[in-house]
Chain A
């Protein structure tokens, strides 16, 4: 006999509840039954299963994906932060990576950024092939997240003067503006 599916078990529970009541009612004619709470117990467990199944159905959900491509190596010290405006959890940061001297290729930068993003606690699954990072939405979001793109914010380490005629000197790896 094949393994019963969860919907099958819920159906069995729905059928068993009135049967248990009948069994109990028979007791008034043929003597007390073993347990008088069987119908309530079956109904309770069946509803618990039904409600959980409604909220978290174990179906093959096509989870939405988005990709990020690293196309240039960038500069040491630059940070890349990936944000997603999650329809449930709000605008969240999946993680931040700081480019280091060892990021000598775009593939290395992508792999290191992907490793950082993979630590997110929001259920997003991160994979990486060459310079492309794929972000898979958490279970249960379904089509809610369709059309929402990750937002990559790249922050430079340098303080950039808005007054371009200022003299720029370098101290401690920061470009400072002399006034």
Chain B
């Protein structure tokens, strides 16, 4: 059966700093010798785990899935996986855009939870208006990638939401 490259990506809820990439390729190709992951942000900067000195992340063929500690805040990124031969020639590659918005999603849930403990929070100046803006930015970030395939616009939305979360004393 010929090799058909594929992979899935998920940001972990338990720790949103981690991204788990799973190789879901089918078929086989005996020439495949190694595998690499390239992750770039919306400006084309490479994202790698701390301590990695290359632009790419080695993904040993025996490791599947792989867990990467790469995020410090919500990020829109392009992920490209390359399957290489013994001479590091690219045999197969696949890339896709992803919106990692778990940090802000969890902050939104935290806000809603807070209402049951501190109900008068909703009387704060423009509380619901800001919650609505925060939510809209998350939705916008997701839609930018899923509908528009645009990580630059997605990152702009994520940055606005992240700014609100980091300055929650002013917004909520």
The docked-state distance in angstroms from the alpha carbon of A162 to that of B69 is 40
Residue of B nearest to A54 (CB): B13
The docked-state distance in angstroms from the alpha carbon of A45 to that of B115 is 11
- Describe A's contact surface by its main secondary structure: helix
Q: B residues within 8 A CB of A45? A: 112
On chain A, the number of residues with a Cβ less than 8 Å from chain B's Cβ atoms is 23
A31 at the interface (CB under 8 A from B): no
B140 at the interface (CB under 8 A from A): no
Contact for B12 among A47, A49, A88, CB less than 8 A: A88
Contact B135 A43 (CB under 8 A): yes
Q: A residues within 8 A CB of B135? A: 40, 43-44, 47-48
Give A29-51 interface residues, CB cut-off 8 Å to B.
37, 40-41, 43-45, 47-49, 51
Contact for A44 among B18, B20, B69, B131, CB less than 8 A: B131
Give A71-99 interface residues, CB cut-off 8 Å to B.
87-90
Q: A residues within 8 A CB of B105? A: 48, 51-52, 55
Contact B132 A51 (CB under 8 A): no
Contact A138 B109 (CB under 8 A): no
Contact B65 A55 (CB under 8 A): no
Contact for A88 among B15, B129, B131, B138, CB less than 8 A: B15
Q: Smallest Cβ distance from A15 to chain B, in angstroms?
A: 18
Contact B132 A37 (CB under 8 A): yes
Contact B112 A89 (CB under 8 A): no
Given contacts A43-B135, A51-B109, contact A144 B102 (CB under 8 A): no
Q: A residues within 8 A CB of B15? A: 88-89
A140 at the interface (CB under 8 A from B): yes
Identify 29 residue pairs between A and B in the complex whose beta-carbon atoms are under 8 Å apart, listed by A's number.
Answer: A37-B128, A37-B132, A40-B128, A41-B128, A41-B132, A44-B108, A44-B132, A45-B112, A47-B108, A47-B135, A47-B138, A47-B139, A48-B108, A48-B109, A48-B112, A51-B105, A51-B106, A51-B109, A52-B109, A55-B14, A87-B65, A88-B12, A88-B15, A88-B67, A89-B15, A139-B14, A140-B12, A140-B14, A144-B20
Q: Which residues of A pack against B, CB within 8 Å? A: 37, 40-41, 43-45, 47-49, 51-52, 54-56, 87-90, 138-141, 144
